[in-house]
Amino acid sequence: MPKVTIDGQTIEVPNGTTILEAARMIGGKSVPPAMCYYSKLKETGGYCRTCIVNVSKGSEKDPRPMPKPVPSCRTTVMDGMEVQNLTSPALLEARAGVVEFLLLNHPLDCPICDQAGECHLQDLGYENGKSKTRYEFARREFEPIDIGEKIKLHMKRCIHCFRCVKLADQLTPNRYQGMLNRGDHSEISTYIQHAVDNEFSGNMIDVCPVGALTDKTFRFKSRVWFVKPEDAHRKCPTCAGKARIWLKGEEVLRVTGRKDKYGEVIDWICNECRFDKKKTSDWVIEGPTHIDHHSVISMNHYETLVDLKHETDNHRKQLTNKKVNLGQGALDPNNS
Amino acid sequence: MGRQLLIDNIKDPVTGALTGINTLEGYRAHGGYKALEKALKLKPEEIVTEVQKSGLRGRGGAGFPTGMKWSFIAKPPGVPRHLVCNADESEPGTFKDRYLMHHKPHLLIEGMIISSFALGANLSYIYIRGEMMVQYHILQKAIDEAYAAGLLGKNILNSGFDLDLHVHPGAGAYICGEETGLIESLEGKRGNPRIKPPFPAISGVWNRPTVVNNVETLAAIVPILNMGAEEYAKIGIGKSTGTKLISASGHINKPGVYEIELGVPVEEFIYSESYCGGMKGGRKLKAVVAGGSSVPILPAELILKTAKGEPRLMTYESLGDGGFATGTMLGSGGFIVMDESTSVVKNLFNFTRFYHHESCGQCSPCREGTGWMEKILHKILDGHGTVADIDLLWDIQGKIEGKTICPLGEAAAWPVAAAIRHFRPEFEEYVKNPGKIKDVKHYYRLNNLEPVN
Ligand SMILES: Cc1cc2nc3c(=O)[nH]c(=O)nc-3n(C[C@H](O)[C@H](O)[C@H](O)COP(=O)(O)O)c2cc1C
Ligand code: SF4
Ligand code: SF4
Ligand code: FES
């Protein structure tokens, strides 16, 4: 089993593990942010470039550092590999660049976006980006379109992560959607609108890291931080029926899949559970859910996030001061 | 003028008339398909060794040793392998493959049969750029001739080797020249580059081991077999062996495709009557983009002489001398010459617009960054730029480079970096004297509008 050292923390992992998965096994602050990788789907990752890390030592066999930052979600661990994430200021600068690119054409319409409060792009921007944009040109515009009867696509919020495309490929029997056009004009589309009609298509709302794909049965009903999530289940002939329901008083405002601490769905749910079971009597409630993510607004606690930022910075300083296991010259900013 | 191994015998040296070498008959009259006969008597591994010995390096841009690339191809038992010829040539400034295919289609076909034999491929493809329909039909006709003559199909020249060769046109996207984008497109999908690894040598077309080579690379296999690897390796200097096609364009007296022996001094190439024939109108040389639009531009003093003051030669090593600080790359051999009347800023805008237009949009830095750089350059040319914009451009290119899925990101970043590195005062001139620029009616020209009087 290969051993890998990430920011000075060493772990042994099964063969074929990616750097990102290894970092998740270690846990904590050194886990790179991932906007397009999705462990529950095949062949995801590699597109957004937020998860880039430096490899300062390739492996025991070939200790040469890798010349460019690599996407940790798509790079397999080699025995003896040494990886820098928070310990490389140059890498953090490069990541801030990626975040800037992702936000470049983003409309920043959080005040009217249903995803606000549970949006990975908000978190990413807050934790890894800069507070000001340097972009002064018109942002790209798209009209919202329907992806099937219950899903709305706001293409201008999309970050081209391809998760919904992979989901459509892997979870539904026919390929319904893909990317049209190219470059910064490329857009997710079904080509023929309304064509997505499948029992599991609703899961694309859950995998979408931003507010590009939203649930039409929930749109504009409430800000997410005013609704109370509870884990609940029901006997469902189509899916496992394990869901998360979002309550306002006694009313079920929306139903989603249950998500783990990286925001990934644990069990896919079917469209019937998601869109049609909107009464508390439809569900057996298990109890309130602890939301593990750290969204800027979901806590309604800007201070916590400021603390979090300090904490990350301190953590980085600590790791930098430790200077362990990083190899000669690894902390030289010119070297990363 | 040195030896010609690839584009010889196209025109009659006296009358200048075409010799008919584009037909099978004409090609055979000049010794065509002799290399194939020789090759089929060798063992496939022997051919790979020959190519390794010849020192041939990929002519598609990266200059990777061809023999080594061939030796990497995986050979799992029972799995077919493929050879794909990259004829997508769309790098601005590069037009040598088109010339070669147009006039000597059989040279490419012969090279492909030999290479397929060496690699153990029984089904090979030529992926040709969608805009080159003329050459597509020329190749198709030549392939038909070759099938009829028993040079393709079953049991080629009674050797027991079978090969089917298809020519497939793309739909007109630069990114389909990137080898994995090409493979996706060949499979009938959107031409998005694949995330590597796995490399095509392990998993390429239909997830089978595949070698992708440039047109000129595959054509060069023929003279290598004809003259022997050792003879071939004697041409050139050091690790730059053999001959190279250069597409020469810009402010020179005789633009066109030239075959040079690697090692010709850049100065000779520009000013000699055997090649470009000097600067048009006797004007002064300002800058050269030596290897296609993506390689760094160099000012006259650095393209003629290295930073050490040695004459710069047309080789992979000499052009690369000094790294990106003072050097550039041979790339695909698209040699663009600019005289003193050229605006480097406008030229850069043109290149950047191209890369923005051709980005596939898969990864964030290239998708967003190329468009951003184009907009800033547009702003500068419109007379609204600031000094901060120049620094911003520099910063953006650095944030694209090395962070993308395929090298198009670098191809877009390098020209920006090099132009600012070597011609920053010109950018500042644009920013500080906007009145001057407005004269060029840049905006109107861009949008094909008549200027309003
Ligand atoms: C954006 C992009 C465009 C490319 N276009 C071409 C092309 O048009 N023709 C070509 O031969 N190689 C092109 N290449 C290089 C190929 O990826 C590949 O390296 C080459 O075909 C290998 O052949 P060689 O080893 O014979 O040079 C391109 C690469 C990139 C990144
Ligand atoms: S719509 Fe959402 S899931 Fe689909 S590519 Fe865009 S951001 Fe990703
Ligand atoms: S670098 Fe550009 S062209 Fe290449 S995969 Fe990324 S977006 Fe596509
Ligand atoms: S999560 Fe790795 S590139 Fe997007």
Q: Does B359 touch chain A (CB under 8 A)?
A: yes
CB A295 within 8 A of CB A123: yes
Asked if B403 lies within 8 A of A183 by C-beta distance, the reply is no
Helices within B120-228 (DSSP H only): 133-148, 179-186, 215-227
Which of B175, B189, B368 is the best mutation test for A, with the most CBs of A within 10 A?
A: B368
Ligand 2 pocket mutation pick from A153, A162, A167, A206 by most atoms within 8 angstroms of CB: A162
What is the four-CA torsion angle of A20, A22, A23, A26, rounded to 10 degrees?
160
A51-83: pLDDT as tens digits? 999 999 999 999 999 999 999 999 999 999 999
Residues in contact with A200: Cβ distance below 8 Å, sequence separation at least 6, in sequence order: A171, A172, A239, A268, A270, A271
A71, A101, A178: residue with CB nearest B368: A101
As a whole number of angstroms, the distance between CA B417 and CA B419 comes to: 6
Q: Which stretch of A264-278, A306-320, B361-375 has the lowest confidence by average pLDDT?
A: A306-320
Tell me what pLDDT residue B11 has. Answer: 93
User: Given this model, what pLDDT does residue A333 score?
Assistant: 42
Ligand 2 in contact with A91 (CB < 6 A)?
Answer: no
Q: Is B223 exposed, middle or buried (0-12, 13-18, 19+ CB in 10 A)?
A: buried
Per the document, the length of chain B is: 453
Q: How far is C-alpha B326 from the geometric centre of its chain's CA atoms? A: 22
Q: Is the peptide bond before B198 cis (omega within 30 degrees of 0)?
A: yes
Q: Are B360 and A49 a contacting pair at CB < 8 A? A: no
Q: Which residue has the higher pLDDT, A95 or A317?
A: A95
* Angle formed at CA A200 by CA A195 and CA A204, multiple of 5 degrees: 80
The protein residue with its alpha carbon nearest to ligand 1, atom 12, reads B60
CA distance A2 to A320: 24
Class level of CATH domain A104-219:
alpha beta
Q: Dihedral of the CA atoms B234, B239, B242, B244 (nearest 10)?
A: -160
pLDDT confidence of residue A225 = 83
pLDDT band for A292, please (50, 70, 90 cuts): low
CATH of domain A3-102: 3.10.20.740
Interface test with A, best of B403, B404, B408 (most A CBs within 10 A): B403
Q: What does the pLDDT average to over A151-156?
A: 94
pLDDT of residue B168: 97
Distances (CA, A) of A329 to A7, A41, A53, A137, A335: 14, 38, 17, 40, 7
Structure-token match 């496992």, residue found: A240
C-alpha B108: how far from chain center: 15
Q: Which of B357, B358, B364 is facing A98, going by the closest CB pair?
A: B364
- Establish whether residue A87 lines the binding site of ligand 4, counting it when its CB lies within 6 angstroms of any ligand atom: no
For residue B47, CA distances in Å to B68, B224, B421 come to 12, 10, 44
Give the DSSP per-residue string, A235-252: --SSS--EEEEEEETTEE
Contact B439, B381 (CB under 8 A): no
Q: A–B: how many Cβ contacts below 8 A? A: 86
Q: Token pair for residue A47?
A: 């597109």
Q: What is the pLDDT of residue A224?
A: 86
Contact state of B365 with A74 under an 8 Å Cβ cutoff: no
* pTM for this predicted structure: 0.91
CB contact under 8 A, A69 and B405: no
Would you call A192 helix, strand, or coil by DSSP?
coil
Q: How far is B371 from chain A (nearest CA, A)?
A: 7
Flag if B402 and A67 touch (Cβ within 8 Å).
yes
* DSSP code at position B346: H
Burial call A163-194: b when 16+ CB within 10 Å, e when fewer: bbbbbbbebbeeebbbbeebbbebbbbbeeee
Distance A125 CA to ligand 1 centre (A): 36
Structure tokens at B417: 């970096």
H or E element in which residue B394 lies: helix B387-400
- Residue B197 preceded by cis peptide, ω within 30: yes
Domains and their CATH numbers in chain B = 24-234 (3.40.50.11540), 237-339 (3.10.20.600), 344-446 (1.20.1440.230)
Number of other residues whose CB lies within 10 A of the CB of residue B260? 23
B364/A184 CB distance under 8 A: no
A68 part of contact set with chain B, CB < 8 Å: yes
Half-sphere exposure of A158 (CA within 13 A, CB side): 33
Cβ-proximal residues to B370 (8 Å cutoff; 6+ apart), any chain: A183, A184, B352, B355, B356, B359, B400, B412
For residue B58, give the ligand 1 atom closest to its CA: 27
For strands A187-189 and A178-180, give the pairing: antiparallel
How far is B237 from B314, CA to CA, in rounded Å? 10
The Å distance, Cα A212 to ligand 2 centre, comes to: 6
Helical (H) or strand (E) element with A11: strand A9-12
Q: Reduce the DSSP state of residue B82 to 3 states and report it.
A: strand
Q: Which residues pair with A231 in a beta bridge?
A: A244, A287
Contacting residues for B335 by C-beta, under 8 A, at least 6 apart: B93, B246, B247, B248, B249, B250, B269, B288, B289, B290, B291
d(CA B60, CA B88): 10
For the CA of A156, the nearest ligand: 2
- pLDDT tens, position by position, for chain B (453 residues)? 689 999 999 999 899 899 999 999 999 999 999 999 999 999 999 999 999 999 999 999 999 999 999 999 999 999 999 999 999 999 999 999 999 999 999 999 999 999 999 999 999 999 999 999 999 999 999 999 999 999 999 999 999 999 999 999 999 899 999 999 999 999 999 999 999 999 999 999 999 999 999 999 999 999 999 999 999 999 999 999 999 999 999 999 999 999 999 999 999 999 999 999 999 999 999 999 999 999 999 999 999 999 999 999 999 999 999 999 999 999 999 999 999 999 999 999 999 999 999 999 999 999 999 999 999 999 998 888 999 999 999 999 999 999 999 999 999 999 999 999 999 999 999 999 877 665 555 555 555 555 554
Give tens-digit pLDDT for B46-65: 999 999 999 999 999 999 99
Q: What is the pLDDT of residue B150?
A: 97
A324 pLDDT above the threshold of 50: no
Residue spans of the domains in chain A: they are 3-102, 104-219, 221-300
Q: Tell me how far the alpha carbon of residue B320 lies from the centroid of ligand 4, in angstroms.
A: 33
- Residue A163 in contact with ligand 2 by CB distance below 6 A: yes
